[in-house]
Structure 1
Amino acid sequence: MATIVDCPTCGAKVTWGEVSPFRPFCSNRCKQIDLGAWAEEKYTIPAVNLPEDPESGIDGDPA
């Protein structure tokens, strides 16, 4: 039995396999929408307790 997943962009059902070339997305359009969201920094990966690096001048404060 094929695995069915939800498209992360629109929620459509997608068969996880070679019949779905854009998996986990349902289409190239949804794939491009997701890429655009990353490019616009709508998604973030939180960083917690960044170590202080005296050589780079970065103190762990993202601001």
Structure 2
Amino acid sequence: MSCPICDADRVSKYRPFCSKRCADLDLAKWLNGSYGLPSNDPEDLDVDVTTEEKAPDRPH
């Protein structure tokens, strides 16, 4: 089986990855929401819009 990030042979120490780097990249994807699934639920859409509307305007 190969590493899900770079397709290299996996190493048992970092299973299912080939290295700490690939394991960390996968963790980063989880933490920043890259693996999230979009929702088609109208209630979720309304919450997002009202949250944005109530957020104070802040400069970058």
- What range is the shorter-chain TM-score in? 0.5 to 0.7
The TM-score, its normalising length taken from structure 1, stands at 0.57
Q: Is it true that 1:34 corresponds to 2:30 in the alignment? A: no
Structure 1 counterpart of 2:9: 13
The TM-score, its normalising length taken from structure 2, stands at 0.59
Compute the displacement of 1:27 (Å).
0.4
The letter for the 2-side match of 1:42 is: S
Q: Distance in 2 between matches of 1:62 and 1:30?
A: 32
Structure 2 counterpart of 1:51: none
CA RMSD after TM alignment = 2.2
- Greater strand fraction, Structure 1 or Structure 2: 1
Compute the displacement of 1:35 (Å).
0.1
Compute the displacement of 1:62 (Å).
2.1
The letter for the 1-side match of 2:44 is: P
Identity %: 40
Q: Which runs of 5+ in 2 are unaligned?
A: 46-60
- Greater helix fraction, Structure 1 or Structure 2: 2
